[in-house]
Amino acid sequence: MHDLRQTLGALLKKHDPDGMQRRFRKLWRNWSRIVDEDIALTARPIGHRKRILILGVDDSMAMQNVTYSCPLILYQVNEYLGQPVFDKVIAELIRDRKTLDTIENKVAPAPRIKPVRPQTLGSKRPNFEPGSAIAQCYDAYVNVFKTENDSSCGASSMTQGYHYKEDSK
């Protein structure tokens, strides 16, 4: 477990050495709690370029409101980040873009690797005492490779005196 922590720590340090990307993600997720309510309703984060915070708005009136609110937005955001990260705010029309405060963190499921079926699958079964723990484990292992069309090594053979077709050859 200690090695895993070290490896993950090294990976994070390599890709986000100062932790700023992690802080940006927290900023985007907590946007409506960080800035004033009226700002949060009209302007939402869509990104940043260097020291410029880019906010998305629905129309030109909201864009004008963001222009007037720039000093307050800069103060609140930089205060949350704990240092002066941004020195300018610009507003752009959202149109069909997705704002960063609405993106959910979804972890993609790990790909399921299909095991390769051994050619001698089931041939070792006669070596185990019927009903023993090792025989049951081996039967479970054999069942991992059983498909609907495969009757050569399945659970049905376990109930027939532990005889596999591959064993009878």
Q: Where in the chain is the domain with CATH 3.30.300.180?
A: 8-100
Residue listed under structure tokens 């979804």? 106
Alpha helices in 16-161, H assignment, sequence order: 20-29, 31-34, 37-42, 60-81, 133-144, 155-158
What is the Cα Rg of the chain in Å? 30
Of 77, 89, 83, which Cα lies nearest the Cα of 26?
77
pLDDT in tens, 124-137: 888 999 888 898 88
Q: What is the pTM of this model?
A: 0.55
First-to-last alpha carbon distance for the chain, in angstroms, is 47
CATH level 2 (architecture), domain 8-100: 2-Layer Sandwich (3.30)
pLDDT digits (tens, 9 = 90+) for 9-28: 777 677 776 777 888 888 98
The helix (H) or strand (E) run that includes residue 12 is helix 2-15
